Every structure is written in C-alpha cells, then in structure tokens.
Amino acid sequence: MAEKPGGYLGRVLRVNLGSEKITIEPLDHSILRKFVGGAGLGARYLYEEVPPSVEWSDPDNRLAFFSGPFGGTRYAGSGMISVVSKGPMTHMAGSSQANGFFGTFLKFSGFDGVIIQGAASDWKYLRIHDGTAELRDARDLLGRDTLETENIIRSRLDRQCSVYGIGPAGENLVRYAAIFGDHGHVAAHNGLGAVMGSKKLKAVAAERGHEKIEVADPERYAAAVKEFARKFHKMQHPLFQYGTADLVGLAKKLGWLPVKNYTTSEFPEFEKFTGESIRRNFKTKSTPCWACRKGHTCSIQIEEGPFAGFEGEEPDYEGVAAMGSLIGQTDPATTIYLCNMVDRLGMDINESGYVIAWLMECYEKGYLKKSDLDGVEMTWGNGGAVMEMLKKIAYRDGCGDLLAEGVKRASEKIGGEAADCAVYTLKGASPRTHDHRANWPELIDTCLSNTGTIEVTGGAPKPEELGLEPVKNPADPVEVSGMNAKLNGKGQFLDSLPLCRFCMQDFKSPIEALNIITGWDMDIAEAIDAGRRVVNQFRVFNFRHGLTKEMEAPSVRYGSTPSDGPAEGRAIMPQWNALRRNYYEQMGWDPETGKPLPETLKKLGLPDLIPGLSS
C-alpha cells in the first residue's frame, strides 16, 4: 500500500445495520490523490459497492459520509461532510455537502469516512467516538423532528458532538427527505434522508474525540493557516454580513427570483425578503461552523405578530425564495416559520417549495379542487394551508402520500394541464429555488449534472482562474454549455476536499493548502482532473443505473420562455439538442449518447470503468 499522505487517518468505519456488525477498514492510500475525499471517495465506494440491481431503498444501498484531508484542520469551512448514496429522486447518484462540524468531529473520532449498509430491524442511532462506534436504541426518538432529535441525542452524550439525523419525512420515506444537523445545516439533495429512513437509522452522532490530525509540513501549516484566515477574514462580501438571502435583491434584478411557480417574475414585496431587511427586522445571532468566524449563518427570533416568540434558524436564500416568492408568500415572518417547519419535518426546501407552488397554481387554474386536496385551500401565499399540507406530506397523510413522491411524479400522475406546470428535470428532481430561465448556466448545469443539482456553477466559478476567456455571448446557449463543460471539475474537486465554498478566496488557495496538509505537489490542472474524475465516476454509475440522454432535459415549465421580466421572450429549448451535444463533445463524451468515451476515461486514469458502460 502507498504511504499515507498527511491529513488522512487511513481508516473507514463500516456499519452493517442488519447484522449490527461494526468494522474498521484501512483506506486505500493509492486512491487518495485520485479521489481526494468527500464526494470523490463517496463516488468511488458507491460505484464499487452498489450494482444496478440495488434500488435506493434496498438494504444493500450504501450511505457514505466522508470528510477529507481538511477535516480536523484549522482551515475555515473544514467541518464540511459529503453524503453520497443512490438517491430516490433520480434513482441515480446523490451527493450533497453539509457544513457545520461533522467532518471535523468524525476525524477527531478517528475516521475519514463512515459507510452504512443494511437495514436495522428497529430504529437505531449511531454514536461514533474515539476510534469506535456503537448502535443505540432510537425507538423513543421516532416521530421527533430533526431539531428535537439532535438536541435529545446531544443531551445523552457526554462530549461535544455533531449530530445529523432525519425527521418524520425521512421516517416515512418522503422521496425528498433530507439529513439535518448542527442546527440548520443540511445534506439536502436527492432524498438522502429517505435512504437513511429506509435503513431505520434515525441519526449519526460524531463526538469530538482525541485523534490528532498529522499534516505533512507542520511548520508551513501553522503559517499557512494563519495566512488563509487573515485573507479570509479580510474578504468583504454581503453574504457574510447578511447571509445568502442577500441574493434576493440580485435575483430580482436579474430575473432569477422564482415567483409563483415561474408564472411571472414580478414580486413587488422582494425588498422585505433581502438578507439586509431580515437582519434589520428580526433578531439574529451568528452561529458559525468549525474554524470559521464569518458566521454568515444565524439563529433567528420572531418578536412580533402571530409567530412572536418563535426561535429557529435564519433561512438561507433558497429557503426565503421557496417559502416566499415561489409560493406567493409576502410576509417574511411566515416565510421564516415555514422554512423552519420544512427543516424540522426533515425535507429538502427546494422540492418542498416546487411541490407547494405547483399545487397553488393547479388550484388557481382549477386543475385540482379543494376535494382533491383533503379540503385544504391552496391559494397563493396561504401560510396556514401550507403548514397543513407540509404535515400531510411528511406523514404521507391523504393527498400528502402522492405529494411525498415529489413534483415530477405527482404531476405525471395527475396528468393533463397540471403536468405541464410542474418545475423539474426529467431525471426526477426539481432545481434549486431559482428561476433558471434567466440563468442559463445553472439551467444547463442542473439538467446535465450527475447528482440532480448544480455541480459546475455553484460558487460563481471564474473562467480566468483556469485561463479561459469569459463567455462572449451569454444569450447563446450553445456557447454557455461549452463554458460549463470547460469549468467542469472545479466544483467536484472542492466537494472532494470537502471545504465550504464560501471560504474560497480563489481556486489556488485550497490547492496550496491541500499540498501543505498532504505533502503533494498538486497544481490547478491536476485538481481539475481530480474533479473530472469524480464527474465521470458518477456519470458511469448513472448510466449503469438507467441514465439516458433523453433524461437530460428540463420539464415543459422549467424550460419555458419567461413572459415578463429581464429574461422575457428568451427561449432556450429551440437549441437544447445543440447545446447538449456541444456539452457532451467538450466533456469527452459520445455526442450521440452522452456516455464517457473510453479515451476520456483512460486519460483520467479510470480504465476500469470502461466495461461498466457496455454492461
């Protein structure tokens, strides 16, 4: 086995819930420089251990939590964890990153990652601490929401810990159930909470153990951490001052604030929802993650009105949009309350928002009647009705049973005109809560990515960092798709460190830090190759699990032409086939099928995946 690089512990915890057997396995050092950690190692294990015959809810599906070489270091944002599995929304790869503390505490507990397989005979939670782990009875936690679950488990453990768990939605296998932890952080996409529920695993807790993380160059590390922190704390960005809800103003200006299920871009009340306005009108308190003093995440209190006395987490941009403009909600306090309700029930805020918005449009247009909705009046912005419906979904009660399948499956079942007004990609998941018809890079990314969400475009990638010229004509979707392909790899590399993207000063600084920690001499080109390796690893997994070219497209409404606002009249669909083909070509994939070409896989050091594409 190759020598262990700095930053890694070289140990993976494997938990079989069926047999209750817990083992510790060595991490193969020879694959670390290729896949790094986080999403990269998760992708590799997923491919090797989950064949196409395994469904998302089968005990043989894996749920992997991976930190990486940064976990346990003093770099800001290194508490991040990547969660990887075969997800129920797409029936393909799911990979979601959550900030907080788990990645670091997992390392302090002695492990680079945890792989969970099998299904428990009754509800359990997993406690990980100081080089070992145990399964504990969680039957008394059944029905508890995500925050209660976290708080109760915390109170039962002696040491400081990070707890990620599921709420009623995960227990009831709502397809878009998510995994929540560290007070408001979430692995949101592709129903990873439903996978956890299918295994009867209520939560995973990592204690702050005593393991020491050894870095390759301790002297340079101490100086580099200081310098990284100095530059990071000098970074001025409204996101740090006002949270990601600060994006509401920009989104409105550029036309990508989603309003009333994409029926308009007019939302005169948007100013009440900006991060600045929320922080001015509500009491907030900074709740930063491990080693980060930026504290753009906050807890929040509502002091007046019907929700006076409520305390919870400040919603991020996606929450504000999903439970605000997207569903026609004009009262910020109601939006804050609804966002917390979605989190505590344990569902992805994006899909929840699109389901509710779709119901409201169907109700307004008469495609669905009150009697179809168990008597709930789903008028635009009706907060009480939304609360009732969210509970129905989380408990699969009445009409909530169908809605728990997500907006694609629910709208297809209802059919007719109702089917055409649902926002989703044909792979099965809905996009992040943006009106991507005014943001083509993200629309293309969402439809062509492997994990059911954006992979290339998050965190404002900068072409110049990779020596590229910016897009000349943003109104040319084929050119835009080419830029997406050229930038692809950067996002998956960062998710493989894994490190919070908000902490990135540029693309060079995390690579330099990685080299100091590990002792490697990676450059930008090798980092991009590492990210592309992850992209292709997930892609081959997806083709083996049923991906076709036809699935890489938006639904009728998602790909429609805006009728007002800054993007009015801009149509992407006439060029969809051309842009998709261009993207495939530039990614080194077969332009007809989208499958990675053998030479692409060989170039990335993945020749072992070639046979997987023909089976």
Contacts with ligand SF4 by CB under 6 A lie at 76-77, 99, 288-289, 292, 294-297, 500, 502-503
* CB nearer to ligand SF4: pick between 296 and 595: 296
Q: How far is the CB of 379 from ligand SF4 (least distance, A)?
A: 35
CB atoms within 10 A of CB 268: 8
CA atoms within 13 A on the CB side of 78: 25
Could you tell me the smallest distance in angstroms from the CB atom of residue 280 to ligand SF4? 20
Buried b (16+ CB within 10 A) or exposed e, 286-308: ebbbbbbebebbbebbbeeeebe
- Minimum gap (Å) between residue 39 Cβ and ligand SF4: 17
Distance between CA atoms of residues 112 and 533, nearest Å: 20
Nearer to ligand SF4, 241 or 281 (CB): 241
At residue 579, φ and ψ (nearest 5 deg) are -70, -35
Find the shortest distance in angstroms from Cβ 444 to ligand SF4: 26
Rounded to the nearest whole angstrom, what is the least distance from the CB of residue 296 to ligand SF4 in the complex?
4
Q: Which is nearer to ligand SF4, 232 or 538 (CB)?
A: 232
**What is the rounded CA–CA span in Å between residue 257 and residue 247?**
9
The dihedral of CA 540, 544, 545, 546: what is its sign? positive
82 or 600: whose CB is closer to ligand SF4? 82
Beta carbon of residue 344, minimum distance to ligand SF4 (angstroms, whole number)? 20
Distance of CA 404 to the CA centre of its chain: 19
| Least Å from the CB of residue 508 to ligand SF4 | 19
Give the other-Cβ count within 10 Å of 205's Cβ: 27
Shortest distance (Å) from residue 253 CB to ligand SF4: 24
H-assigned helices in 545-597: 576-586
Least separation, in Å, of the C-beta of 350 and ligand SF4? Answer: 17
Q: How many CB atoms lie within 10 A of CB 202?
A: 29
Three-state SS at 24: strand
Q: What is the CA radius of gyration of the chain?
A: 23
Left if phi > 0, otherwise alpha if psi is -120 to 50, otherwise beta: which for 515?
Answer: alpha
- What residues pair up with 300 in beta bridges, in sequence order? 284, 312
Nearer residue to ligand SF4 within complex by CB, 103 or 428: 103
Q: How far is the CB of 438 from ligand SF4 (least distance, A)?
A: 26
Q: Is 155 helix (H, G, I), strand (E, B) or coil?
A: helix
SS3 35: helix
Of the pair 172, 287, the CB lying nearest ligand SF4 is at 287
Residues near 39 by beta carbon (within 8 Å), at least 6 away in sequence? 66, 82, 84, 95, 97, 492, 495, 496, 498, 534
The nearer residue to ligand SF4, 39 or 389, going by C-beta atoms, is 39
The letter for the amino acid at 78 is S
Task: Rank residues 244 and 451 by Cβ distance to ligand SF4 and give the closer one.
Answer: 244
Burial of 380 (0-12, 13-18, 19+ CB in 10 A): middle
445-to-30, 276, 576 alpha-carbon distances in Å? 31, 29, 13
CB of 290 to ligand SF4, least distance (A): 7
Q: Looking at beta carbons only, is 237 or 413 nearer to ligand SF4? A: 237
Give dist(CA 318, CA 321) in Å, integer: 5
Of 153 and 289, CB closest to ligand SF4:
289
Return the number of the residue (76 or 336) whose C-beta is nearest ligand SF4.
76
